[in-house]
Amino acid sequence: MEQDIKKQANELYSRGLLVFNQPITKERLKLVTELWQRALELYRKVGDERKAREIEKTLVNLYKRNSAKREEKERQREKQQDNIPIEFASWDLFFKIGCFGFGGPMAVFSLLENELVSRKKILSHEDFLEGAVLGDILPGPVTMDIVTYAGYKLKKWSGATISTVVFILPSFILMIILAILYNKYIVTPRVETIFKCLGAAVTGLIISVGLKLGEKEIKDYPAAGIFVWAFTSSLIFKFDILTVVGLAGIAGTLLYTIGAAEKNNSP
């Protein structure tokens, strides 16, 4: 009886060894572990501790090697993900916006909202507006600031670099061509009629973005009040952007903080 089991265990072990000596694949590895595990159990049953421990050691080694490989693979995959800044499909949109931003900063602003928030959903509308706030408060053109901000949100410094470079590239190349032409002929192209029609389309564009964002963002009295105040003060009093946004931020801090405090006081 005991002899039979021992024989069976030996057989299982050597079968496993046979499979193990062939080129390793995932399925074979699984089979080997299974066979040896069964052999281990049988050796334990008949009390052959020496053999059992031997097999156990091999199994543990096998398992360790396997998991080490898996970890290595995962580490590599993570590294690759860090190197490849999301899919290229999302970066070409910055290039597209860089190409079609004719009609001034507000046109670019509207294009960005449309692509980043409405279509691709890379940023939430709050994130987008936050980028706009930063663009207004910090130096640099607002549109480029939003592009850099969006890139940073996606992939830190590398993302910011790629989005900014890709965004500025079309204008840069066009400007070089124009500069070369200018040096030769000293003429500036007549583009007034084109700009007039573009301006009209941009007006429509801006209003559509304003309506879209306003619908999501302005939900309570403080927001509505700040909205109206910002609109009128920049329209009538011609306050500069920095003042309007800065004061609105302070107003928001006061109004919402007081609002929250009152809510806490009255259960």
Partner 1 sequence: MDTLLKLSWVFLKIGTFSFGGGIVIIPLVETEVVMKYAWLTKREFIDAVTLGQITPGPVVISATFIGYKVYGILGAIVATVSVILPSFVIICLVTEAIRKFKENKVLANFFRGARAAVIGMIFEAGLSIGKSSLIDFKTIFIAGIALICLLKYKLNPVWVLLGAGIVGLVS
Q: Which of 9, 55, 111, 123 binds partner 1 (CB under 8 A)?
A: 111
Binding string, residues 125-164; x marks residues near partner 1 by CB under 8 A: -x--xx-xxxxxxxxxxxxxx--xx--xx--xx--xx--x
Look up residue 177 and give its two tokens.
Answer: 């061509």
Q: 63 or 100, CB closer to partner 1?
A: 100
Q: Which of 5, 31, 46, 106 binds partner 1 (CB under 8 A)?
A: 106
Give every CB contact of residue 7 below 8 A, 6+ residues apart in sequence.
Answer: none
Rounded to the nearest whole angstrom, what is the least distance from the CB of residue 249 to partner 1 in the complex?
A: 4
Rounded to the nearest whole angstrom, what is the least distance from the CB of residue 266 to partner 1 in the complex?
A: 19
Q: Are 6 and 46 in contact (CB under 8 A)?
A: yes
Cα gap 245→134, rounded to integer Å: 9
Is 167 near partner 1 (CB under 8 A)? yes
- What residues from 189 to 228 belong to the interface with partner 1 (CB under 8 A)? 189, 191, 193-211, 213-214, 217-218, 222-224, 226-228
The DSSP secondary-structure symbol of 24 reads: P
Q: 60 or 207, CB closer to partner 1?
A: 207
Rounded to the nearest whole angstrom, what is the least distance from the CB of residue 90 to partner 1 in the complex?
A: 16
146 to each of 9, 96, 125, 136, 252, how far by Cα in Å?
69, 15, 12, 10, 22
- What residues from 42 to 101 belong to the interface with partner 1 (CB under 8 A)? 96, 98-101
Rounded to the nearest whole angstrom, what is the least distance from the CB of residue 127 to partner 1 in the complex?
A: 10
Rounded to the nearest whole angstrom, what is the least distance from the CB of residue 93 to partner 1 in the complex?
A: 10
Q: 3-state secondary structure string, 196-223?
A: HHHHHHHHHHHHHHHHHHHHHHCCCHHH
Overall size of the chain counted in residues: 267
Rounded to the nearest whole angstrom, what is the least distance from the CB of residue 83 to partner 1 in the complex?
A: 19
Q: Which of 230, 262, 263, 265 binds partner 1 (CB under 8 A)?
A: 230
Burial of 29 (0-12, 13-18, 19+ CB in 10 A): middle
Cα gap 17→259, rounded to integer Å: 74
